């Protein structure tokens, strides 16, 4: 099948930032910017998930994609519907389908430390680690849990120090690093909760005596 890519890749170092993005927020942008800085990335490709098998409730793809477009306003950031094009739902399947089509590029999977806590629940998570280098960016309250995660323990032998992370290209996967960068407190869960609280329809239901 013909694949529409978000930009050039040959000879370039590209961070892949995947997620449900329900919705995308400034914390995701913070991760992308720090990864660009610490890993010397040429581009960041944001990849909204076509669907998250681990989450039962999520906004429609179009709404999530639009939220990513709003947040990824940067000359070196691109948003792509790769998962929709490929028809994949698991990151492992997405990368396995994508990487043979983009030979000549150097790709690094980007994720927040909050995702590392539950990484072992992802489909073929241990095989995924053998596809691309992984950079984990610190998130508030998740440092200890990330260090104790099944992924961190299983792959402790191939963890790079943050100072060595720009040298990812010298190593064959599996290889990963944890970047203890300045923290950003925004979260999708918090944003959805705030939107729920502001919803006048919800308030009318919870307080039938309320009047318009």
Per residue in 36-66, pLDDT tens?
999 999 999 999 998 766 565 568 999 999 9
Per-residue pLDDT tens for 96-119?
Answer: 999 999 999 999 999 988 888 889
H or E stretch including 17?
strand 13-19
Per-residue pLDDT tens for 178-192?
Answer: 998 765 454 444 433
**pTM, rounded to two decimals:** 0.83
Contact partners, residue 96, CB within 8 Å, separation at least 6: 131
The answer to whether 121 and 90 are in contact (CB under 8 A) is no
Domains, the chain, in order of start with CATH, read 13-185 (3.40.50.620)
* Residue % of the chain over a pLDDT of 70: 80
Return the DSSP state at 130.
Answer: T
Contact partners, residue 101, CB within 8 Å, separation at least 6: 3, 5
**Tokens linked to 67:** 């939220």
**DSSP states along 30-86:** HHHHHHHHHHT-SEEEEEE-S--TT-S----HHHHHHHHHHH--STTEEE--HHHHH
């Amino acid at each position: 099948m013909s694949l529409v890519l978000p930009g050039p890749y040959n000879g370039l170092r590209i961070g892949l930032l995947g997620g449900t993005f329900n919705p995308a927020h400034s914390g995701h942008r913070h991760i992308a910017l720090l990864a660009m800085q610490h890993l010397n990335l040429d581009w960041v490709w944001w990849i909204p998930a076509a669907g998250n098998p681990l989450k039962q409730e999520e906004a429609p793809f179009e709404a999530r994609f639009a939220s990513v477009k709003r947040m990824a306003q940067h000359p070196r950031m691109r948003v792509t519907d790769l998962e929709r094009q490929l028809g994949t739902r698991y990151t492992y399947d997405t990368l396995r389908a994508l990487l043979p089509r983009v030979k000549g590029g150097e790709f690094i999977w980007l994720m927040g430390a909050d995702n590392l806590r539950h990484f072992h629940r992802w489909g073929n998570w241990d095989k995924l680690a053998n596809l691309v280098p992984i950079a984990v960016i610190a998130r508030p309250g998740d440092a200890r849990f990330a260090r104790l995660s099944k992924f961190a323990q299983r792959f402790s032998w191939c963890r790079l120090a943050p100072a060595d992370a720009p040298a990812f290209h010298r190593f064959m996967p599996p290889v990963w690093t944890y970047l203890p960068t300045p923290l950003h407190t925004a979260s999708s869960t918090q944003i959805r909760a705030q939107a729920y609280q502001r919803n006048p329809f919800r308030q009318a239901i919870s307080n039938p005596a309320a009047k318009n």
